[in-house]
Chains A and B, each alone.
Chain A
Amino acid sequence: MARGILGAARQAGSVLVTLAGLLALTFFMGRMLPTDPVLAIIGQQADQAAYDMVHHQLGLDRPLPVQFALYVRAMLTGDFGDALFTGHRVAADLSRAFPATIELASLAILIGVGLGVPLGVLAAVYRGTLFDHATRVIGLVGYSSPTFWLGLMGLILFYSTLGWVGGPGRLDVGFIDSIEPHTGLLLVDALWDGDPDVFWNAVSHIVLPASILGYASMAYISRMTRSFMLEQLAQEYIVAARIKGMSRWAVIRRHAFRNILVQLVTVVALAYAFLLEGAVLTETVFAWPGFGRYLTAGLLAGDMNAVLACVLIVGVIFIGLNLLTDRLYRVLDPRTR
Chain B
Amino acid sequence: MSITHPAPAPAPGLQAWLTADVTTSPRQASLQRFYYGWRRLRGNPTAMIALGALAALVAVAALAPVIAPGGYDDQDLAARLLPPSLMHPFGTDDLGRDILARLAWGARITLMIATLVAVIVAPVGLLVGTTAGYFGGWVDAVLMRINDIFLSFPSLILALGFVAALGPGIRNAIIAIALTAWPPIARLARAETLTVRNADYIAAVRIQGGSALRIITRHIVPMCLPSVIVRITLNMAGIILTAAGLGFLGLGAQPPMPEWGSMLSAGRSHLTGAWWLSTVPGLAILATSLAFNLLGDGLRDVLDPRSE
Smallest distance from the beta carbon of A22 to chain B beta carbons, Å? 5
Q: Is the CB of B164 within 8 A of A311?
A: no
Residue A314 interfacial (CB < 8 Å): yes
> Which of A86-94, A136-144, A247-255 contacts the other chain?
A136-144
Residue in contact with B230 in the complex, picked from A17, A26, A223, CB distance below 8 Å: A223
* Interchain CA distance A273-B151 in the complex, whole Å: 10
List B contacts of A21 (CB < 8 A).
145, 149
* Nearest-neighbor residue (CB-CB) of A320 within chain B: B148
* Interchain CA distance A296-B226 in the complex, whole Å: 34
Residue B153 interfacial (CB < 8 Å): yes
List A contacts of B286 (CB < 8 A).
140-141, 144-145
Q: Mark B239-257, 1 if CB is under 8 A from A, else 0.
A: 0010011000100000000
* Interchain CA distance A167-B154 in the complex, whole Å: 29
List B contacts of A156 (CB < 8 A).
272
Residue B300 interfacial (CB < 8 Å): yes
How many A-B contacts if CB must be within 8 Å? Answer: 156
Given A22-B153, A25-B149, 18 additional A-B pairs, CB 8 A: A14-B145, A25-B153, A26-B157, A35-B160, A143-B234, A146-B241, A146-B244, A149-B268, A219-B234, A224-B227, A230-B307, A231-B307, A236-B1, A273-B151, A311-B153, A322-B144, A333-B194, A335-B199
Smallest distance from the beta carbon of B103 to chain A beta carbons, Å? 16
For B, the interface residue count at a CB cutoff of 8 angstroms equals 58
When A281-B245, A318-B148, A322-B148 are in contact, do A335 and B187 touch as well, CB less than 8 Å? no
Smallest distance from the beta carbon of B140 to chain A beta carbons, Å? 9
* Nearest-neighbor residue (CB-CB) of B187 within chain A: A266
Q: Is the CB of A335 within 8 A of B195?
A: yes
* Interchain CA distance A34-B1 in the complex, whole Å: 59
Residue A280 interfacial (CB < 8 Å): yes
In chain A, positions 47-103 with a C-beta closer than 8 Å to chain B are: none
Q: Which residues of B contact A (CB under 8 A)?
A: 1, 46, 141, 144-145, 147-149, 151-154, 156-158, 160-161, 164, 184, 187-188, 191-192, 194-196, 198-199, 226-227, 230-231, 234, 237-238, 241, 244-245, 249, 264-265, 268, 271-272, 278, 282, 285-286, 289-290, 293-294, 297, 300-301, 304, 306-307
Q: Is the CB of B194 within 8 A of A315?
A: no
Pick from A137, A263, A277 the residue with the most CB of B within 10 Å: A263
Residue in contact with B306 in the complex, picked from A18, A33, A235, CB distance below 8 Å: A235
Q: Is the CB of B153 within 8 A of A26?
A: yes
Give 28 CB contacts A-B under 8 Å.
A21-B145, A26-B153, A29-B161, A133-B46, A136-B294, A136-B297, A140-B289, A144-B238, A144-B289, A145-B286, A146-B265, A149-B264, A223-B293, A224-B227, A230-B304, A231-B227, A234-B307, A239-B1, A263-B192, A266-B188, A267-B188, A270-B184, A281-B245, A295-B156, A307-B154, A315-B149, A318-B148, A322-B151
* Nearest-neighbor residue (CB-CB) of A232 within chain B: B306
When A33-B161, A227-B226, A263-B227 are in contact, do A295 and B148 touch as well, CB less than 8 Å? no
Q: Is the CB of A231 within 8 A of B304?
A: yes
List A contacts of B264 (CB < 8 A).
146, 149
* Interchain CA distance A267-B184 in the complex, whole Å: 8
In chain A, positions 251-268 with a C-beta closer than 8 Å to chain B are: 262-263, 266-267
Q: Mark A145-177, 1 if CB is under 8 A from B, else 0.
A: 110110010001000000000000000000000
List A contacts of B282 (CB < 8 A).
145-146, 149
Q: Is the CB of A314 within 8 A of B230?
A: no
* Nearest-neighbor residue (CB-CB) of A17 within chain B: B145
* Nearest-neighbor residue (CB-CB) of A296 within chain B: B156
Q: Mark A281-319, 1 if CB is under 8 A from B, else 0.
A: 100000000000001100110000001001100110111
Residue A184 interfacial (CB < 8 Å): no
For A, the interface residue count at a CB cutoff of 8 angstroms equals 64
Q: Is the CB of A140 within 8 A of B184?
A: no
* Interchain CA distance A322-B146 in the complex, whole Å: 12
Q: Is the CB of A228 within 8 A of B227?
A: yes
When A146-B264, A148-B268, A235-B306 are in contact, do A266 and B191 touch as well, CB less than 8 Å? yes
